[in-house]
Chains A and B, each alone.
Chain A
Amino acid sequence: MNPIGAEPYIVLSMVLFLLGALGVLMRRNAILVFMSVELMLNSANLALVAFAREWGQVNGHVFVFFVMTVAAAEVAVGLALIVNIFRERQSINIDDLQQMQG
């Protein structure tokens, strides 16, 4: 049996999540913002798997499955948007995208 409990994994996933959040706030490159979001989703998955092991329930794994599916769909649509935006204005700096600012 694995001698490590769930807590170290939770702490690790927390650190990764905060790093991802930091990336979303700090980076202005839209692709990097997207990658940071992926990092956050992944850290959430890690927490889910850790808890699933701790509780002996496979449901956590199933949720990880759904998160992965949603992440895949999100990345596909998001990257298509980024490509279109880049075609239109030759830039993917998210500070340049202000048309919808009130």
Chain B
Amino acid sequence: MEWLFLAVSFVAVLAAGMMLTRQNAVHSALFLIVNFGCVAFLYLMLDAPFLAMVQVTVYTGAIMVLFLFVIMLLGAETTTDTSGRMRWLGLAGSAVAIILLLIFAFPIASDMLADEMAAPQDTRAQLRVINAIPGGDAEEFTVMEMGFAMPLAGTVSASVALDAVDESMADSRIDSVVYSDSREAIRGYTELEAGAYTVAVGVDDGSYVSGPVFTKDLVLPPDSAFSVVVFENEEGLVDVTLLADDISAPDVGTMRLTVFNAVTDRQVSLVNVGQYTTRRTLCDDASCASLIPHRRLIDQLPAGDHTSIALDEGTYNLAFVDQDQNILRTLADYKAERGLIETRVLVREPGVPGSQPSYRAAVFTALGLPAFGSPESVGQVLFIEYVLPVMLVGMLLLVALIGVIVLARPDALAQAERRRINRRRRVNRPLVSVISQQTGADVLSGEYMAKLTGGPDDGSDQ
């Protein structure tokens, strides 16, 4: 990598030097194009692929072509350059440049600016709370399936409150994202200062959190995203686990699906069943042996555990299956959208005792952050944070456009003169015809002109 940088920067400096010293302006322009190409390559090395492409199209493509056009249009390839009177300026300029280079390069070379140039540490962490305790009643279940986000005050058996250990952070309590649809859950993350926290789980009746029933110490590293999952462990007690969420962009054309198993006594597998099925078991023993392994996306996930998979874009029929091949929950026509990050928490629904238990795969989604320097990330900053400057720059370009049109009109002065002459003609022509009409004579003939200038009288005054 270093030799690549050295080679490219050497070519860039060499091209810049050649540009300065060529007498022929066309050669200079071509060397400048080489230099811009090198800079575009350096942009690629600096994780700015979008800017590299803009550099190639705008600078080397548009601006330099404009330069070449003008040079060739004017025929000004070689102009007598330095009139001896000004030669001292070049020498003085080189001296100043070398002195400036020494002044600038010395602090960097001697590491004096190491502290100033060091990247700042990101001290923020993101946190959300996922309630995976079997709770609620049939109504809640219906509401959730319809995609409404409801706080469900008073009916939730347990919800989560987070209090910071630090007194100053005591206000940053996060209420849980209990049953909510996917759009709601995107906002589920809350930004916090990185550090050590204590999660307190209490029973929330909508106005008052009693408890805490359970507390757990968590450490949030900087620049990270975590989900606190509250679930019921094997002993039937409230347990809290910390999921490190990967919110970077998924691989191109895929989504990232994380499955958390909050069903105490089941080992859950996620299977791509292909066709929609209403069966209660995945297969009998004979066909299970021949089940294609790649259809089993996640294999035997123990309770309280989680795993992530990359799912190609497309539509799937997925099923959560336990260790006895019973289908716990199907996800029919599951759409895997590219760039999506989804967490599915498999929870048991408390039903009527003795009846067949039902299960729910609660959804918590987030959109992946675009990769640094990608068109998405630049566009987001450009059109959200910098809308006004973008408008102003557009205005600037408009003004420049008008200015160029005005400047580029061929000999504007001569045109103005011609317009003045035309105006005079337009006034004169009707005047002549008016006179000829009033006098009834051919105004433009020599006879009339002779009379006006006092020629021989032919009795025309009668």
Cα separation A70 to B249 with both chains bound (whole Å): 32
Q: Is B432 an interface residue (CB 8 A)?
A: no
The answer to whether A75 touches B105 (Cβ under 8 A) is no
Determine if A73 and B39 form an interchain contact, defined as CB atoms under 8 angstroms apart. Answer: no
Asked if B63 contacts A72 (CB within 8 A), the reply is yes
The answer to whether the Cβ of B437 comes within 8 Å of any Cβ in the partner chain is no
Complex-state Cα separation, A14 to B63, whole angstroms: 22
Within 8 A of A (CB), among B342-396: 372-373, 377-378, 380-382, 385-386, 389, 393, 396
A32 within 8 A of B: yes
B67 touches which of A3, A12, A34, A61 (Cβ 8 Å): A34
Residues of B within 8 A of A45 (CB): 39, 55
Q: Which residues of B contact A18 (CB under 8 A)?
A: 97, 100-101
Query: Is A26 within 8 A of B90, CB to CB?
Result: yes
A70–B36 Cα distance when bound, in Å, is: 17
Name the B residues within 8 Å of A12 (CB-CB). 9, 12-13, 42
Q: A2-B45, A95-B86 are in contact. Are A35 and B411 (CB under 8 A)?
A: no
Q: How far is the CA of A54 from the CA of B127 in the complex (A)?
A: 26
Asked if residues A77 and B404 are in contact (CB atoms below 8 Å), the reply is yes
B1 touches A4 (CB 8 A): yes
Pick from B62, B79, B96, B403: contact of A28, CB below 8 A.
B79
Contact with A along B1-39 (1 / 0, CB 8 A): 110010001001100110110000100110010011001
Asked whether B372 lies within 8 Å of A56 as measured between CB atoms, the reply is: yes
Q: Which of B69-77, B160-168, B181-189, B292-300 lines the interface with chain A?
A: B69-77
B372 touches A66 (CB 8 A): no
B2 lies within 8 A of A3 (CB): yes
Closest to B403 in A: A77
Interface bin, chain A: 35 or more
Query: Shortest beta-carbon distance, B44 to chain A, in Å?
Result: 10
Q: Does A22 contact B (CB under 8 A)?
A: yes
Determine the main DSSP class of A at the interface with B.
helix
Q: Which chain A positions have C-beta within 8 A of B19?
A: 23, 32, 35-36, 39
Interface size on B, residues (CB 8 A): 82
Tell me which of B35, B80, B117, B382 contacts A39 (CB under 8 A): B35
A18 and chain B: residue at smallest CB distance: B97
- A50 with B46, Cβ < 8 A, contacts A15-B101, A39-B19, A83-B70 known: yes
Interface string of A63-102 (1 = CB under 8 A from B): 0111011111111110111111011000111010000000
B79 to chain A, nearest CB (A): 5
B94 CB to closest chain A CB, in angstroms? 6
Contact A73 B396 (CB under 8 A): yes
Q: Are A19 and B17 also in contact (CB < 8 A) when A35-B67, A62-B378, A75-B67 are?
A: yes
Q: Tell me the minimal C-beta distance from B45 to chain A in angstroms.
A: 7
Are B2 and A80 neighbours in the complex by a CB distance under 8 Å?
no
Q: In the complex, what residues of A have CB within 8 A of residue B94's CB?
A: 22, 26
B411 touches A87 (CB 8 A): yes
A84 to B408 alpha-carbon distance, docked (Å): 7
Q: State in angstroms the CA–CA spacing of A62 and B408 once bound together.
A: 31
Cβ-based interface call for B244 (8 A): no
- A83 near B63: Cβ-Cβ < 8 Å: no
In the complex, how many angstroms separate the beta carbon of A36 from the nearest chain B beta carbon? 7
Q: Given A15-B101, A53-B46, does the pair A42, B36 have CB atoms closer than 8 Å? A: yes
B449 at the interface (CB under 8 A from A): no
Q: Residue of B at shortest CB range from A69? A: B393
The chain A residue with its CB closest to the CB of B70 is A79
Identify B89's interface contact among A26, A59, A75, CB under 8 A: A26
Note all chain B residues with C-beta closer than 8 A to A82: 70, 74
Check B119 against A56 for contact (C-beta < 8 Å).
yes
Closest to B407 in A: A80
Residues of B within 8 A of A49 (CB): 42-43, 46, 48, 51
Nearest B residue (CB) for A60: B48
A selection of 13 A-B contacts at a CB cut-off of 8 Å is: A4-B5, A9-B46, A23-B19, A25-B96, A26-B89, A29-B25, A35-B19, A54-B119, A59-B381, A71-B59, A75-B63, A76-B400, A84-B408
- Apart from the given pairs A2-B47, A49-B46, A58-B372, 8 other A-B contacts in the complex at a CB distance below 8 Å: A28-B82, A52-B46, A56-B119, A59-B381, A61-B373, A65-B54, A68-B58, A84-B407
